[in-house]
Structure 1
């Protein structure tokens, strides 16, 4: 049982780290002379433009930004609730709330990836 709990803790920490990296990383879309992510578009590795409300053609990227941030927050909340439930639940009870929140985080990532893939 301790091995299973160790794997679940490792899963939560790994998924949170990967979500932070995927949200912050600037290499979602890399070409010959440019790279782009959900925060900015860079050409010639020097001319970077931040994506904000002035870019109407990139307005869907704000939905990707929001869902990626939401998924990262939900993943961190799920880990926090898991740790709380680990010490508060009676032996044999299940971590239903943690799993529901983690599944919502996964759904947010899938929505963000779907929007980004469709628009780019």
Structure 2
């Protein structure tokens, strides 16, 4: 039982860390090796100062939806972790972690919706920058897609996890 509890907790922490990185890092769309776009900024690398120079991304309804859904996913997963830790202490013996699993599943669904919107509406999201056919997905989109099954699996595991002692 302890091994299962530790495994679920580690899975939760890994997926939460991946969500934070996917939401905050600068690589949702890569134009070239020196020009990238994320949910918040358009950045390019200057050789003269060897730093990234970023400007605010042009707002669109689709981009705001992706931003909101990714933030909701991080919030749901964080709340799920805090509720789980509280339930470990205060939940009576033999009870299930329903609320924790529900919060984690919602985190997975909001992450899934954000990934779908960015994947299928990237032309509208990136239209003000350049031609999207000249770029490719960055590692943050892939990381966000990888979070979806991790969040949903951990949500299901929480629902079936029973407090023994």
- Measured against the shorter chain, the TM-score band is 0.7 to 0.9
Q: With the length of structure 1 as denominator, give the TM-score of the two structures.
A: 0.87
Of residues 100, 107, 116 in structure 2, which corresponds to 1:114?
116
- Residue 31 of structure 1: how far off its partner (Å): 2.3
For residues 7-47 of structure 1, the C-alpha deviation after alignment (integer angstroms, 9 at most, x for no partner) is 11111211111111110010111122521111111245555
Residue 2 of structure 2 aligns with which residue? 2
Moved over 3 A (4+): 43-47
Structure 2 unaligned spans of 5+: 47-51, 123-165
Gaps of 5+ in 1: none
Q: What is aligned with 1:49?
A: 55
Residue of structure 2 in register with 1:13 after alignment? 13
Q: Which residue of 2 aligns with 1:76?
A: 78
Per the alignment, residue 26 of structure 1 pairs with 26
If the length of structure 2 is used for normalisation, what is the TM-score?
Answer: 0.65
Cα distance in 2, alignment partners of residues 100 and 43 from structure 1: 40
